[in-house]
């Protein structure tokens, strides 16, 4: 026999099998008569490298797809990446900077050339990493959200939704970076808590007609209202003062106005519950052009909007004061001016959060700008219904509430981004800002000339902005099958709707909800049936793993260290659906140890030599019957766990079936004895059955551990070219006798107890036990499993129907056992244990009896519950009897 390594070495097998699977086109799917099972990958960013979240997410997808394939379905897992406009553009800008090129010096086309170059060079890294993990994606179907046909779909959808009236252009507050002269996304704003000053400033009150207002009696008792602000420079853009309608301090100010200091503008006092009465003075100045909340209030109360800050962060013409000066210098000067005019009431120290640009570290300026929006209210209705009525299931369903709440209060979706990398918005403008939406300049001109026949214009300017990346990804389930270009093609008809989507709860709204919306809008059908929401991978301190924190281990290094199978198992062991998982490498270690355990079980079996002439022992026969029953029972439960998407529990059940039932019990039961430095041969029937079991077990672990299962599958038997485990059939459940399982559980208890006694009494294994029982051979199953007891805990003989007195007694259930062949000085221990057990059981009996004596219980409890209680009573009585007998038989 050739030497097999003592430990499993994943490096030697993983690449080998992955290439083999690829060569044989096992991952590739084409429509046929079988039932399809489809997963579309949540497309990772092209900028991305594999992180722990991807590992978890894609492991789950691979488990699902591999099992579906084994179940005989036509399994298709479509991979791909998205173009991630913000992240990619940032990467490209950074790369150019290193080369000494500024984005602003490049034309749009030149910039895009660099961007595509970058994408070609780095955009495929993450997909290659998925291969290392073992992902069985149909790589022939790899898609990218910015490839031509997908971009075309995006543009067509924009035009279509615009036609249908869902898309409009409106105002919105964006995070403006005055240093970078660009809008940045919410994700790129870093909020820092800083020490600030809260300035209390008084505004003079006047009547509605701006006539002076006085509440006091004497002279000079003009009326004032004091507001508090951290940004006095925006006072110049104030267009209202807001107070709480129930604030007693300000109730008398209905229909009054205030005069903004310096600019002397008269603004209304408005009343809104938005105001926090406790903060500052309870009076809030409203600057709709420079604060998100103020903007919302401004809309609500129809206030004027005065933009007092230029894009570069200096004061604008409309500010009237300090025009052209930086906002922070203006702030200082205004404070001084207010102080001098006596309008600065006081200065308070406070801590507040201020947003900074991730890229330039400049203080973010909320700025009003024109953007494109999707009106979500009507279009999203089917997507709300789909989840509520269960057409699309969320796993776990605790997310339904959150989803519902969001969808019922859905906000319009801002889809324009001030970037170049992405699909350019197909909107065209003339000098006056008249707008048409069309696919090309030519079409735009035609349309324009119809809509504005008098203008007679030759050229229109296209919108500079691109579309939000989500505006591509929400079409993903349809566009990967070319469902826009060719709505009746064979692929989309066969694969759509897809089956399971595996993703993170944090993008439930950004992505999942929108895909459902698009699905109903463009296919009249849901895009997938189940959404499995994974947890967020965190570090030990509970922080989300992220690139910026640098707290994520390198997944590829983990794979090298523990093997892909080990890492996959490690990720899954601790990740029930929807729960966060604080990652720890020790999980991967456990996965690796499991690989090794399976490997060594194989080594053991492979070592045995068979003897054709050897007759199968009863012990072996019964072992096989038992494991067969146990296997099928567990298979049933594993199938059920898969059905409920309890993947980590299915894995744990598999783990225990292999480690405990197969390795620790079954193999030990049938293991041939070792005599004179040599293993005795094993009978052929037992050997064959064992190999058969092993193959079935390998099938169960294949979805979790594709590599080791494939390797052993080929080492354990002769296979033809395409006979791979990944293409094998999933096991079917065979009839089994569950009594065998129950009987053997009893035997396991007996064996454990005997081992425990041996250990506690320090009896060496060379001393074999003589065991006696009071019961007859046919009273329970002990006799049938005698051989196992002999073998697994060094028992020499069991005598039934014995009435001797012995020193070591114990009971399992209602059956008493005694060890007879040695005397111990520690009888006291046994006595104590038996007394303890007796005590416990008597207490238990008492509680049951009490319950049964309780009239209200007997009246109210269901009949089956009553039956159970009566059985408990009988069992407890039998147990007590057995223990008492054992006590009596002690020497």
Partner RNA sequence: GGGAAAUUAGCUCAGUUGGUUCAGAGCACUACCUCGACAAGGUAGGGGUCACAGGUUCGAGCCCUGUAUUUCCCA
Residue numbers 382-401 binding RNA by CB under 7 A: 398, 401
Q: Does 860 interact with RNA (rule: CB under 7 A)?
A: yes
Q: Which of 756, 720, 534 is CA-nearest to residue 61?
A: 534
The answer to whether residue 406 forms part of the interface with RNA (CB under 7 A) is yes
What lies within 8 Å, CB to CB, of 316 at 6+ separation is 307, 308, 309, 310, 323
Least distance to RNA, CB of residue 150, Å: 25
If one asks whether residue 409 binds RNA (CB under 7 A), the answer comes out as yes
Closer residue to RNA, CB minimum distance, 105 or 660: 660
DSSP codes, 630-662? HHHHHHHHHHHHHHTT-HHHHHHHHHHIIIIII
Nearer to RNA, 137 or 174 (CB): 174
Q: Which of residues 504-533 bind RNA (CB under 7 A)?
A: 505-506, 509
- Of 722 and 759, which CB lies nearer to RNA in the complex structure? 759
| Angle at the Cα of 95 from the Cα atoms of 94 and 100, rounded to 5 degrees | 90
The residue from 554, 868, 874, 891 that contacts RNA (CB under 7 A) is 868
Q: Which is nearer to RNA, 420 or 707 (CB)?
A: 707
Residues 563-592 that bind RNA (CB under 7 A): 573-576, 579-582, 584, 586, 590, 592
Under rule CB under 7 A, residue 656 binds RNA: yes
Pair 682, 611: CB distance under 8 Å: yes
Residues 842, 880: Cα–Cα separation, whole Å: 7
User: Considering the rule CB under 7 A, would residue 237 count as an interface residue with RNA?
Assistant: no
Kindly tell me which of 585 and 796 has the beta carbon lying closer to RNA.
Answer: 585
Closer residue to RNA, CB minimum distance, 94 or 607: 607
| Closer residue to RNA in complex, CB, 335/664 | 664
6 in contact with RNA (CB under 7 A): yes
What is the rounded distance in angstroms from the CA atom of residue 387 to the CA atom of residue 394? 7
Residue 768 touching RNA (CB under 7 A):
no
DSSP string, 254-307: TT-EEEPTTT--EEEEEE-TTS-TTSTTSEEEE-TTS-HHHHHHHHHTT-----
Q: Examine residue 677 and tell whether it contacts RNA (CB under 7 A).
A: yes
How many residues contact RNA, by CB under 7 A?
Answer: 80
How many residues in total does the chain contain? 891
Which of these ranges, 46-54, 87-95, 220-228, 673-681, lies near RNA under the rule CB under 7 A? 673-681
The single residue among 226, 369, 462, 679 that binds RNA, judged by CB under 7 A, is 679
**Among residues 129 and 596, whose Cβ is nearest to RNA?**
596
- Min separation Cβ 173 and RNA, Å: 9
What six digits make up the tokens of 67? 């099992």
Q: Which of 292, 337, 741, 878 binds RNA (CB under 7 A)?
A: 292
Looking at the Cβ atoms of 64 and 571, the one nearer to RNA is: 571
Q: Which of residues 251-270 bind RNA (CB under 7 A)?
A: none
Nearest to 774 by CA among 873, 876, 884, 874: 884
Residue 37, Cβ density class (10 Å: 0-12 exposed, 13-18 middle, ≥19 buried)? buried
Distance CA(642)–CA(158), nearest Å, equals 39
Residues of this chain, 708-747, that bind RNA according to CB under 7 A: none
| Comparison of 155 and 545: residue with beta carbon closer to RNA | 545
Alpha carbon distance 821, 824 (integer Å): 10
**Residue (752 or 801) nearer to RNA, CB:** 752
Q: Is 296 in the site for RNA (CB under 7 A)?
A: yes
544 binds RNA (CB under 7 A): yes
Strands 240-243 and 266-271: parallel
Nearer to RNA, 150 or 658 (CB): 658
**Choice from 458, 862, 863, 888 touching RNA (CB under 7 A):** 862
**Distance in Å, CB of 24 to RNA, minimum:** 28
Q: Are 133 and 59 in contact (CB under 8 A)?
A: yes
In the sheet that 815-819 helps form, which strands lie side by side, from edge to edge?
Answer: 795-799, 769-773, 815-819, 808-812
Strand-pair partners of 434: none
Q: Give me the least distance between CB of 860 and RNA, in Å please.
A: 4
Q: Is 660 in the site for RNA (CB under 7 A)?
A: yes
Instruction: Identify residues 443-472 at the interface with RNA (CB under 7 A).
Output: none
Residue by residue, what is the 3-state secondary structure of 375-438? CHHHHCHHHHHHHHCCCCEEECCCHHHHHHHHHHCCCCEECEECCCCCCECCEEECCCCCEEEC
Task: For residues 74 and 28, give the distance between their C-alpha atoms in angstroms, rounded to a whole number.
Answer: 10
Min separation Cβ 471 and RNA, Å? 16
Please identify which residue in 302, 432, 765, 825 interacts with RNA, judged by CB under 7 A.
Answer: 765
Interface pick for RNA out of 225, 795, 848, 880 (rule CB under 7 A): 848
Told to check if 643 binds RNA by CB under 7 A, we report no
Interface with RNA includes 790 (CB under 7 A)? Answer: no
Contacts of RNA in 329-348 (CB under 7 A): none
Residue 630 in the binding site for RNA (CB under 7 A):
no
Phi and psi angles of residue 850, each rounded to the nearest 5 degrees, phi first:
-60, -45
Smallest distance from RNA to CB 711, Å: 14
Assigned token pair, 497: 């709707």
């Amino acid at each position: 026999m050739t030497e097999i390594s003592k430990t499993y070495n994943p490096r030697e097998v993983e690449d080998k099998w992955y290439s083999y699977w690829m060569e044989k086109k096992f991952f590739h799917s084409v429509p046929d008569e079988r039932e399809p099972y489809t997963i579309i990958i949540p497309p990772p960013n092209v900028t991305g490298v594999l992180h722990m979240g991807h590992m978890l997410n894609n492991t789950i997808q691979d488990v699902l797809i591999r099992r579906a394939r084994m179940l005989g379905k036509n399994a298709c897992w479509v991979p791909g990446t998205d173009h991630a406009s913000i992240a990619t553009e940032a990467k490209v800008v950074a790369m150019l900077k290193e080369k000494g090129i500024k984005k602003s010096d490049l034309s749009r086309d030149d910039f895009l050339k660099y961007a595509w170059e970058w994408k070609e060079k780095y955009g495929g890294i993450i997909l290659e990493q998925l291969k290392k993990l073992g992902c069985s994606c149909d790589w022939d179907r790899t898609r990218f959200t910015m490839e031509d046909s997908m971009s075309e779909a995006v543009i067509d959808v924009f035009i279509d939704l615009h036609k249908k009236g869902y898309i409009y252009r409106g105002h919105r507050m964006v995070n403006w970076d005055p240093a970078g002269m660009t809008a940045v996304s919410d994700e790129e704003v870093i909020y820092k808590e800083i020490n600030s000053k809260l300035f209390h400033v008084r505004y003079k009150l006047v009547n509605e007609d701006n006539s002076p207002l006085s509440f006091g009696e004497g002279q000079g008792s003009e009326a004032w209202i004091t507001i508090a602000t951290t940004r006095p420079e925006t006072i110049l853009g104030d267009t209202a003062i807001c107070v709480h309608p129930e604030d007693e301090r300000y109730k008398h100010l209905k229909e009054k106005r205030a005069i903004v200091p310096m600019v002397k503008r008269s603004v209304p006092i408005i009343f809104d519950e938005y105001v926090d009465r406790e903060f500052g003075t309870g009076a809030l100045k409203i600057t709709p052009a420079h604060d998100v909340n103020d903007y919302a209030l401004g809309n609500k109360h129809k206030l004027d909007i005065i933009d007092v800050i230029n894009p570069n962060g200096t004061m604008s013409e409309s500010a009237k004061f300090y025009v052209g000066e930086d906002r922070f210098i203006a702030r200082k000067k205004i404070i001084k001016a207010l102080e001098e005019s006596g309008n600065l009431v006081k200065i308070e120290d406070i801590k507040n959060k201020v947003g900074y640009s991730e890229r330039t570290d400049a203080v973010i300026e909320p700025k009003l700008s024109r953007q494109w929006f999707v009106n979500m209210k009507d279009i999203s209705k089917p997507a709300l219904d789909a989840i509520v009525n269960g057409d699309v299931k969320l796993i776990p369903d605790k997310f339904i509430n959150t989803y519902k709440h969001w969808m019922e209060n859905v906000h319009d979706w801002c889809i324009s981004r001030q970037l170049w990398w992405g699909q350019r918005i197909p909107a065209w403008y003339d000098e006056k800002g008249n707008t048409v939406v069309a696919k090309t300049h030519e079409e735009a001109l035609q349309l324009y000339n119809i809509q504005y026949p008098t203008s007679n214009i030759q050229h229109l300017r296209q919108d500079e902005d691109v579309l939000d990346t989500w505006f591509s990804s929400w079409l993903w389930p349809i566009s990967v099958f070319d469902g826009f270009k060719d709505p009746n093609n064979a692929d989309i008809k066969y694969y759509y709707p897809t089956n399971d989507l595996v993703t993170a709860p944090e993008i439930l709204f950004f992505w999942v909800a929108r895909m459902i919306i698009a699905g109903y809008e463009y296919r009249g059908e849901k895009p997938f049936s189940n959404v499995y929401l994974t947890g967020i991978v965190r570090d030990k301190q509970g922080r989300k793993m992220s690139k910026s924190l640098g707290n994520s281990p390198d997944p590829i290094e983990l794979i090298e260290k523990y093997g892909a199978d080990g890492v996959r198992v490690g990720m899954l062991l601790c990740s029930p659906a929807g729960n966060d998982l604080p990652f720890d490498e020790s999980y991967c270690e456990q996965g690796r140890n499991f690989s090794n355990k399976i490997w060594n079980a194989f080594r053991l079996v492979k070592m045995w030599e068979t003897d054709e002439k050897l007759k199968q022992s009863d012990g072996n026969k019964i072992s096989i019957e038992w494991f067969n029953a146990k296997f099928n029972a567990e298979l049933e439960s594993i199938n059920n766990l898969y059905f409920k998407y309890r993947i980590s529990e299915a894995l744990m059940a598999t783990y225990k079936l292999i480690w405990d039932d197969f390795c620790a019990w079954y193999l030990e039961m049938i293991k041939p004895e070792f005599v004179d430095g040599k293993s005795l041969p094993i009978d052929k029937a037992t050997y064959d059955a064992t190999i058969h079991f092993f193959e079935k077990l390998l099938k169960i672990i294949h979805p979790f551990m594709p590599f080791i299962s494939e390797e052993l599958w080929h080492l354990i038997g002769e296979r033809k070219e395409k006979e791979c485990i990944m293409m094998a059939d999933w096991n079917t459940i065979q009839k089994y006798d569950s009594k065998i399982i129950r009987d053997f559980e009893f035997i396991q208890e007996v064996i454990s107890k005997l081992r425990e006694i041996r250990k506690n009494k320090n009896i060496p294994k060379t001393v074999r036990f003589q065991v006696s029982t009071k019961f007859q051979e046919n009273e329970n199953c002990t006799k049938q499993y005698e051989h196992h007891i002999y073998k697994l805990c060094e028992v020499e003989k069991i005598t039934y129907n014995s009435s001797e007195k012995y020193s070591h007694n114990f009971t399992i259930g209602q059956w008493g056992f005694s060890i007879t062949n040695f005397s111990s000085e520690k009888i006291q221990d046994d006595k104590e244990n038996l007394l303890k057990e007796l005590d416990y059981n008597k207490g238990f009996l008492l509680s049951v009896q009490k319950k049964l004596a309780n009239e209200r219980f007997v009246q109210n409890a269901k009949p089956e519950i009553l039956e159970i209680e009566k059985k408990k009573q009988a069992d407890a009585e039998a147990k007590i009897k057995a223990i008492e007998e054992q006590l009596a038989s002690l020497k």
